[in-house]
Structure 1
Amino acid sequence: MKRSKLLFKLLPGLIMLTLSINLSAQCDNWEGSAQKGEAEDAHTIYRQALKTKDYQMAFENWEKAYNIAPAADGKRDFHYTDGIKLYLNRWKNETDAAKKKEYIDRILKLQEEAVNCLSSGGITLKCHGQKDCYTKRIGYLQGRLAYDMFYILNTPYSKTIEQLSGAVENSGDDLEYIVFAPYANIVVYNFENELMTKEEARAIYERLNAVADLKIAKGDRLSDSYQQAKQSMNSTFSKIERYIFDCEFFKAKLRPEYDADPDNFEVIKQTLAILKGQGCGSGDVFFDELDTKWKKYAAVENAKIQADFEENNPNVAAKRLYDQGDFKSAALKYQEAADGEVDPSKKAGYLFSLASIEFRKLKQYSKARATAREAAKLRPGWGRPFMLIGDMYGSTARSCGDSWNQRLAILAAMDKYNYAKSIDSEQAKDANSRLSKYRASMPDKNDGFMRGIKVGHAASVGCWIGETVKVRFSN
């Protein structure tokens, strides 16, 4: 029992000791080693072979150098980074899936060893006074591996993003531009597949753009590369930016383009549409400025469009003028529409509208009747023009002389209603309604007797009507 308790107390320490030994072994260098000469020779040979792309010789000698001294002379991480390059080359030329997986695992292991040795001090770098040179070197290695994992190894995004995240954290403002595109693509994929929140996606976007802007502002030899990488990255992010950002982001993003050309109404239209979609609205200074400009422009443009349309479609202009109460101008436009129309049915419609205005609004009865008759000729079997003429006769009957002649005018109106429903069943209901209304206004039999006129006799209607009707009586 005592031995068991003692072993339990010693176990954590033994584990830590084992880990320490393993880590130390990962970071062994050839200084003080009995195999130093052999390791140095192998190192020199494989490095030269790498330059000439003799990968077989490079691998054989790298393996010797690495097995003796993973950390080389303890001042560089070449044996890890070169090992990754060599295994990458093997992966590219391998067709066996199991072998390819083995090479990927070895690459990730070498990366882990390099990071561990740099973190633990197993490798001593020349930092030239830079306190964070170790973490930045780790970030550099993570970024480079992430690039290969994304573009070459096609490793799962869950593993690649670990390296990318580490690269961003450790590299700080020295993050390489080569990680922008892989990181953006994985973020978009993860967000679209609900593997990342909008807050996480937004934080990565902002961090990467902050690094890019800092590097571009420096204006050194890499500024153009960072500029191009930023544009490409943000083009990828644009697929989700409307879901992860709010109004303020888009105001800042779109404002420069607007300020560069504030009278470009295509820019105004597009900017306003995007801002509306992102929740911007009335009360925001920038939004209101755009909205006011757009409304003024739209009003002018719509007026131009409407004018052009009406010029080619005078019937539309006629309807607008009618609604505005400008009946004379409306009549002229309907006449223009009829004159320019080749389709008989459409032309008849325009003429009917013209006749209605001439009758009801301009009180030009003879002209209105002539126009209605012209419309009727163009569309056989259409009863509405005759209904309209009947309305003309009925409404003007009181101006056609004495009571007898007024009642004859009513008969003329009733004749038109009867004819209208006889050729066009759609007019029957309205025609019957009018006939019923006017029946009591037909001539009186006693008046006819006094004039020597019987049922069926022909009689001329006076005034402007000038029709001949067959007499019938109301009683």
Structure 2
Amino acid sequence: MKTRLLTLFTLAVLGSGVTKAQSGDCVTTAALAYDDAKAKNWESAYPALQKVRKDCPDYSLATYQYLEQAIEAQLKTEEEGDKKELINELIEVWEQRLELYPAKTKIGKVYSDIAQLKYDNGLGSKEELYKAYDKAYQEDKDNFTSPKGLYAYFDLVVDMHDEGDRDLEEVFNQYDVVMEKIEEEENKAAERLAPLMEKQENNEELTAKEKTSIRNAEINLENYAMVKNALNGKLGQRADCDNLIPLYNKDFESKKTDVNWLKNANARLSNKDCTEDPLFVQVSEALYKLEPSAKAAFSLGQTAEASGNGAKALKYYNEAAELETNKSDKARIYYRIAGNYKDKGQFGQARSFYNKALEAKPSLGSAYLQIANMYAKSANSCGTDTFSKRAVYWLAADYASRAARVDPSISSNANQAAASYKGLAPQKSDIFQSSYKPGQSISLGCWIGQSVKVPNL
């Protein structure tokens, strides 16, 4: 009781100094409402919060924060048929908060939350729901980050296509928009995770905040990986070569001087590896002639590679990498170049380009996995004795583990690879019988040029 009275007194004092003078009723009602809300006593808090919102709408941002929680708590227990009034009220609360506290409210999040609430509860046609998500994306795409919302944003277009309300080209365009946004968010999460992983690997002490950051980044990466898989599953056979080639073949003659059309056709044929059809060569050459862009150069590299001309392919790939400005696409090009060098056994060159790919796209776990594979293949060549040769597998395992953490979509394969490499590395008994001690660094020679610490097994 004393605590409650103290709360009332404190809020009354603070309330007296706000820019707009508030009535004593607002201060008292808000104090009681906030007190109940903090205790999650929503039954008592809800009507009081409604009163504060009605009588003193600009009293405090807390009114809207607590009222949102109060309504969401009721929605969880309400019968399906009785939810509509609460849903509409929650939308009004979000919109009013945005109006009164724009500096403390993210437009993209509010609009995408409104769209998601309607989507989850079947309120509105597919067209109306799509426009609700599109509003969030167009007005503030930076803060439209919900994995669930981004999937719905694409899902609705596919469903409308299947019902005859969207053409296939629009489906592809929407896929590109959503996939680009997801990869952007993946990269942000991976960039936050990278220095913290390094601290962990060096056995440095992490703060509670850093541990939370790691956990949140890994959860986000996992969620975005699931959405990417769902997007590709939803797109399915609609985007295979059997559909793409006829779609673009019929319009090529009339569109062969249309740069935007050629870019779209080129990108989709390239992404789906429809590179052996003559149409791909025609589109790539036409685009390169009109605008020697990164994508055109990359496609000509694919064509040269398919015909067995590796040197010509690398020439075009390097040109594409220099021209490309989109980080994810630049990473894709570097990854392709790295693969060419890896296939030739030029592991040092390959690693250099895999690292360039990772600089452009930190969430590209497959690049870490490829480096791990090259280290493992070089174990017998990069040590001075049996123990140090086998120690290479520790380094390979570290890189495979990194792959799993930054890209959950390949975590199963990456973790299996890491476990396999650890099994090939020296075991506890081997360390005990050797001259090496836990924590000691072992320099690895040849092209690797790195050191690895003996773990404390």
Q: Quickly name the TM-score band, shorter chain normalised.
A: 0.3 to 0.5
- Select the structure with the greater relative contact order (CA < 8 A; seq sep ≥ 6): 2
Larger Rg: 1
